[in-house]
Amino acid sequence: MKYGEKEIKEFNVEKDLEIWKSEYKRDYLIKMTLPEFSCLCPRSGYPDYATIYLEYSPNEWVVELKAIKLYINSFRDRYISHENSANEIYEVLEKKLRPRFLKVVADYNPRGNVHTIIEIDSSKILQINQS
């Protein structure tokens, strides 16, 4: 097993998703594009591919870039649905970072004539809960 495969296989989100203290108290937005997301369909085992878009406004913490890369790559051999993968990513970042704002978009490549986009946006969730 090569060192990168070992890092991905052994990645533990609880201990390995490194976060750093944000040095700035102002509001600012961090945007990340992760174009090589993959996982396995829990029904067929076929690979699914997506681009993951992350946006967040830090409160006290930011995620370290290599750690988020390894976390996203840790999905590649997992049987997990589109909805569950997007929701897990959102929940992990929400719990670890406690950001002012968080948005996760999982834009899956079409397969079988179906194109899926899962979007979880804390500002929209707040609006729905206030209605």
Domain ranges of the chain: 3-130
The one catalytic residue in 16, 27, 39, 41 is 41
pLDDT value at residue 131: 56
Residues of the chain whose pLDDT is less than 70? 125-131
Q: Is 39 an annotated catalytic residue? A: no
pLDDT value at residue 111: 87
pLDDT value at residue 125: 67
pLDDT value at residue 128: 54
pLDDT value at residue 36: 97
pLDDT value at residue 112: 85
pLDDT value at residue 126: 55
Q: Is 48 an annotated catalytic residue? A: yes
Overall fold of domain 3-130? GTP Cyclohydrolase I, domain 2 (3.30.1130)
The one catalytic residue in 16, 27, 48, 107 is 48
String of DSSP letters for the chain: --HHHHHHHT--HHHHS-EEE-S--S---EEEEEEEEEEE-TTT--EEEEEEEEEEE-SSEEE-HHHHHHHHHTTTT-B--HHHHHHHHHHHHHHHH--SEEEEEEEEPPBTTB--EEEEEHHHHHHHHH-
Token representation of residue 129: 């809960």
pLDDT value at residue 130: 61
